[in-house]
Amino acid sequence: MSRTTPKRLAIDVRSALAKAGDARTAARGLTFFKPNDDVRLYGIKSSCVRNIEKEAYGKIREEWSVEDAVAFYDLMSRDTHFEGTMVGVLLLGRFKSQFRKGMLATVKRWITDGRFRNWAAIDGLAPTLLTPLVTTYPDLASRVGEWTSSRNMWLRRAAVVTFVPLARKGMQLDRAYMIVEDLLDDVHDLMHKACGWLLRETGKADARRLEQFLLIHGPRIPRTTVRYAIERFPQRKRKSLLVKTRG
């Protein structure tokens, strides 16, 4: 049997995605984005996307290396539909045990090149590719953290979301707080939500530290960020923190 090349698999996957697409599902999906967001959808439920990726991986799991998976993602990223990009990301994530430090520069280039055009794409990329890199190579955490100063909002959001799964486990909490503090003056609503999400996860590991952070920086923290951050607190505590952080 001949080897399945990245090009052959990309053709097969695109065909499967197009066949599974549904216009009504796509229309519903677009309601989660703002009118000016750069997003195209086939209209496929996430469970179906994962099944298509799983089937694709089954064809190549015994014969591909991470280099093949990178080539496959590169081909899939040319499909401007969100679901196509996600299949590429998910399959590449299967090879995380083969990731090397240089992958960070590659992923950064993909983001700055515009391969990831909306918040959903970034939120799929970061935990699948960047979090494993930072977990395997902790010294990369500071380099990802430096993205908070980028003019590219998607790099900034990727820096935040990368640490969400780690903060949830009580890992890299110092870095998580540094990232949020660096972004307190960010003007974009998508960043306010992302920072609130990250803070909420830090609170699962250390609620007292989260409360102290909110009280210290309260007047500078966007209200959206505060509301996201305190979601896990009891109602009485939430009401108190909303007042105390107002300044």
pLDDT digits 0-9 by tens, 21-79? 999 999 999 999 988 788 999 999 999 999 999 999 999 999 999 999 999 999 999 88
Angle at Cα 123 formed by Cα 115 and Cα 191, nearest 5°?
100
Confidence of residue 1 (pLDDT cuts 50, 70, 90): low
Judge contact between 72 and 6, C-beta under 8 A. Answer: yes
pLDDT of 209:
97
Judge contact between 39 and 120, C-beta under 8 A. Answer: yes
Judge contact between 179 and 132, C-beta under 8 A. Answer: no
Asked if pLDDT for residue 217 goes beyond 80, the answer is yes
Amino acid 240 reads S
Asked if pLDDT for residue 2 goes beyond 80, the answer is no
Closest CA to 111 of 66, 141, 153, 68: 153
Asked if pLDDT for residue 247 goes beyond 90, the answer is no
Judge contact between 56 and 126, C-beta under 8 A. Answer: no
Span 47-56, pLDDT tens digits: 999 999 999 9
pLDDT of 117:
85
Query: Would you say the C-alpha torsion 108, 109, 112, 114 has a positive or negative sign?
Result: negative
Q: Alpha helices of the chain — where are they, by DSSP H?
A: 6-20, 23-30, 46-60, 66-76, 82-93, 103-112, 119-125, 131-136, 141-145, 153-162, 164-168, 173-182, 189-205, 207-217, 223-229, 235-244
pLDDT of 103:
96
Three-state DSSP at 40 gives: strand
pLDDT of 36:
79
pLDDT of 118:
93
Span 165-178, pLDDT tens digits: 999 999 999 999 99
Whole-number average pLDDT of the chain: 95
Q: Which residues contact 35 (CB under 8 A, 6 or more apart)?
A: none
Exposed / middle / buried, residue 181 (Cβ in 10 Å: 0-12, 13-18, 19+): middle
Span 175-194, pLDDT tens digits: 999 999 999 999 999 999 99
Closest CA to 183 of 136, 240, 229: 229
What is this structure's pTM? 0.94
Q: Which residues contact 238 (CB under 8 A, 6 or more apart)?
A: 230, 231
Span 124-140, pLDDT tens digits: 999 999 999 999 999 99
Q: How far is CA 240 from CA 201, 205, 231, 232, 234, in A?
A: 20, 21, 13, 14, 10
Looking at residue 98, the DSSP 8-state letter turns out to be G
Angle at Cα 187 formed by Cα 183 and Cα 190, nearest 5°?
80
Asked if pLDDT for residue 160 goes beyond 70, the answer is yes
Task: Please state, for a pLDDT cut of 90, what percent of the chain lies above it.
Answer: 92
